[in-house]
Amino acid sequence: AQSVTQPDIHITVSEGASLELRCNYSYGATPYLFWYVQSPGQGLQLLLKYFSGDTLVQGIKGFEAEFKRSQSSFNLRKPSVHWSDAAEYFCAVSGGSYIPTFGRGTSLIVHP
Amino acid sequence: SAVISQKPSRDICQRGTSLTIQCQVDSQVTMMFWYRQQPGQSLTLIATANQGSEATYESGFVIDKFPISRPNLTFSTLTVSNMSPEDSSIYLCSVVEGAEQYFGPGTRLTVT
């Protein structure tokens, strides 16, 4: 069965600082990997996805993620965080069914 | 990309009553999904709804508690029956299009 681990429940960064959110997955074959963002009171928005090819994936809002098969990881990064990035971030993995399994989420807090 | 709307956006309901949540998609899709997001938790898949067939429920969810209708390729409803405070959650509708999953804005349900 597929699973996702997001080891950090909360992350606090200062505005302008760099950000890395961790995600580890378990899946028997080549996974499809996703990062979603959920702002307060909002639905989920897809930030980026990895299906195949280049392991460094660019997404919206200046985010990127790197797929590392050897580490079963798909960490999300941003070089400079903005106050509007404060939200809940979910990593997800899926296979051929395209139905993802979500991690528990990481809450990003941005200090001015 | 699919655009999904949900009604109502939020509701406060009495224990023992039922609430029906509507999900409308702006394109025809084969599969629609219903998720629950309990406070501070990740997303849990309730069921998959295909047009013209019975919904497929995940472990821990039953049709009597969460009946689902799928009358056509753009619409679905989820009913939360005989509600208790433990049903207080955000309920999200989603669809898969082009191997990506899109989510509605969610229905925030509070049961008193």
Nearest CA among B19, B66, B25 for reference residue B45 = B66
Give the mutation candidate from A23, A98, A104, A107 for the B interface (greatest B CB count, under 10 A).
Answer: A98
Compute the distance between CA of residue A45 and CA of residue A25 in angstroms, rounded to an integer: 20
Spatial separation of the C-alpha atoms in residues A81 and A98, rounded to whole Å: 30
Is B92 close to A104, i.e. CB distance below 8 A? no
The residue of chain B nearest to residue A89, with distances taken between CA atoms, is B42
The distance of Cα B35 from the centroid of its chain, to the nearest Å, equals 6
Question: B1, B6, B10, B101: best mutation site toward chain A, by most A Cβ within 10 Å?
Answer: B101
Size of interface A-B (CB pairs under 8 A): 41
Phi, psi (degrees; rounded to nearest 5) at B87: -85, -5
Distance CA A76, CA A69 (A): 15
pLDDT score of B38 more than 80: yes
Ranked by mean pLDDT, the top range of A19-33, B11-25, B85-99 is B11-25
CB-CB under 8 Å, B105 with A42: yes
- Which tokens belong to B19? 């609430």
- Average pLDDT on A66-74 reads 95
Residues of chain B contacting A36 with CB distance shorter than 8 Å: 103
The C-alpha atoms of residue B103 and residue A43 are separated, in whole angstroms, by 6
Which pLDDT does position B107 carry in this prediction?
96
